[in-house]
Chains A and B, each alone.
Chain A
Amino acid sequence: MLDRLRNPWSDNRAELTLGAVSLLICASVIGMIVFVFIRAWPIFEHNGLSWLGPGGSLKTQLENMQATSVHPPASAYHLRAWPIIYGTIITTGVAVVLGIVIAVLSSIFIVELAPARLRRVAIPVIRLLASVPSVIYGLIAMLVLVPFVGNHLISSPQKTSVQNSVQLTGEGLLVVTVTLTVMITPIMIALICEALAAAPRSWREGAVALGLNPLRAMLAVTLRAIRPAIVAAAVLATARALGEAVMISMASGASFFTPNLSHGVPIFLYEPLRTLASTIIDFSEGIGAPALDSTLYAFAALLLLSAFVLSIGGYLIKLPLRKYQVRA
């Protein structure tokens, strides 16, 4: 009886309560997906899937949506969002590819090459970089990188050569991609370092015994063994890069321009752009207009879908790599 007083919870009741809480979480997540897609539905209804493609000026389309207030006509829902999808793909793609290379090199540095004292400094430093808020990255991008690119890298003839199609002010692809890379690399380093540390030492020692130098042994053996972790890191980093709204909104030039490769490489890097997430936050004040509301939710639905596809893709890529038994 004493036990009953001290432990009023029976196992069944406890399990049901805890299970109910877990159910609550699942329900919220499902609710989120449902809500976002329901609010995004009008855009799909009026445009089908072609709203993902190019056509017309995205700027005028969004302006039309903002101008309509309570009951917008069907023409207000016309949307062709390719410029920002292209912007998202470019920034995320370049940032993740650069990030993986830098992350792998830095992880090798931290785990293998750094002397112990330097390693003790490097680990907290990487953790710090990973937790700096995006607002601060945006502030620094705007205050340091943009003036540097605008005043020192972009030359006057370059500006003049494209002056009739776009304005180059320093804010644009280069600044955004560099900052995004710095933002996502620490996350990848953290995961890859853990995996490197957990990889079987005996494999590497075997390689060294066969005459490889330590660095080569690490590259040839351990790196291949931790491929699942690299994939997991890339997936996580891509998800973070896709969803980055604040920093890009601050440093990207906020223009619906599509950076044009035909302008030649240096100029292409200086051109302004917008991504899905930065457009959402830029236009978030206008969420009252019904057409714009659906558009923003459609962008959010696309982001949600890509995060989902990414994680499934990552899982599928890791499947055949399971044989290395390195936990990722």
Chain B
Amino acid sequence: MNRYRRLSVALAVAGVLGVAAPAAASAATTTVTISGATASYPLVSLLAQKYVKLFPRKYRFKIAQGGAQIGINDVAAGRVTIGDVSRDPLPSDPAGLVFYPIAKYGICVVTNKANTLSNLTPAQVISIFTGKTRAWSQVPGATATGTIDLISRTSVAGVLTSFQTLLLEGKKVSSLASELSSEGLLRQAVENDPNGIGFISNYGASLGAVNSVSFNGVACNQTTVASGQYAGIARFYEVTKGKATGAASAFIGWIESSAAARKIISSQWVPITQ
């Protein structure tokens, strides 16, 4: 009995070693890790899903979120291969990062469905989001009453930076605002709060549960972003440390050139070269 037990243990150990040894060698598929913006997560996930379907067993994607700033930090530290970023490069970004634009999107101001505000002038948007105007009664065209509930994003969000640059003329959102950590959360918060007002990408606004507000007379949707009419047009970037190589280069090159990728981008967003 003892002898058999020892023999079986030896076999098990050999088996485990035999299985582990190839694992120490290089894997057959390369893993591409991506982290970053929540606004571009649906787009990048769809692109990655399509890529894996077209080129099976070549690359594997692990896509995390966290916010554009997280993506930049992770890429700069070498923790991920590609960073998703939803804002233009800033001077404070670490040196050596290369930004590849992949799509254009619009930043829409949204209110609750019950609040049928149709248009806001730039001055009104600034005054509301910087906290100068606090009551809905002071906003012409708004059907909500009471205090304005500002709903914003956390500081790591690229959409926040883009929003402040493009629609707030560089001013900062008031510190009164609730800071939510993702697009989905912001949309849910505006959906559930009759007094809420926030800003999300045009894809998020198109999901139907919120009221999209025109900016300066121009509606915020895919068409106006494509035509360039809308004022709040920002870009999604894929960011790598140094020029993209290997898997990152293949993926980003595919996004920029292939028809399949363009089709995915055009479904809800706007390709870079129109």
Contact = CB atoms under 8 A, between A and B. Distances in A.
Contact of A169 (B79, B135, B149): B149
Nearest to B192: A147
B76 interface: yes
A156 B175 contact: no
B193 to A, nearest CB: 6
Contacts of B77: 69-70, 288
A130 B150 CA distance: 37
B147 A160 contact: yes
Nearest to A288: B73
14 contacts: A62-B155, A66-B69, A67-B92, A69-B72, A163-B135, A166-B176, A167-B150, A167-B176, A169-B196, A285-B65, A285-B70, A286-B73, A288-B70, A288-B77
Interface of B: 1-2, 35, 64-67, 69-70, 72-74, 76-77, 79, 92, 94, 131, 134-135, 145-150, 154-156, 175-181, 189, 192-193, 195-196
B149 A167 contact: yes
Contacts of B65: 285
A167 B70 contact: no
Contacts of B134: 160, 163-164
A63 interface: yes
Interface string A279-317: 000100110110000000000000000000000000000
- In the complex, the 7 A-B pairs of residues with the closest C-beta atoms, listed nearest first: A285-B66, A63-B155, A159-B147, A156-B146, A163-B147, A288-B73, A163-B134
Interface in A254-292: 254-255, 272, 282, 285-286, 288-289
Interface of A: 5-6, 8, 57, 59, 62-63, 66-67, 69-70, 147, 150, 156, 159-160, 163-167, 169, 253-255, 272, 282, 285-286, 288-289
A240 B11 CA distance: 45
B114 to A, nearest CB: 12
Contacts of A169: 149, 178, 189, 193, 196
A159 B146 contact: yes
B178 A254 contact: yes
Given A286-B69, A286-B73, A288-B77, 18 more contacts: A5-B2, A8-B2, A57-B175, A66-B155, A69-B72, A69-B76, A69-B77, A70-B77, A156-B146, A166-B176, A254-B178, A254-B179, A282-B181, A285-B64, A285-B181, A286-B66, A286-B67, A288-B79
A67 B175 contact: no
Nearest to B181: A282
B180 A254 contact: yes
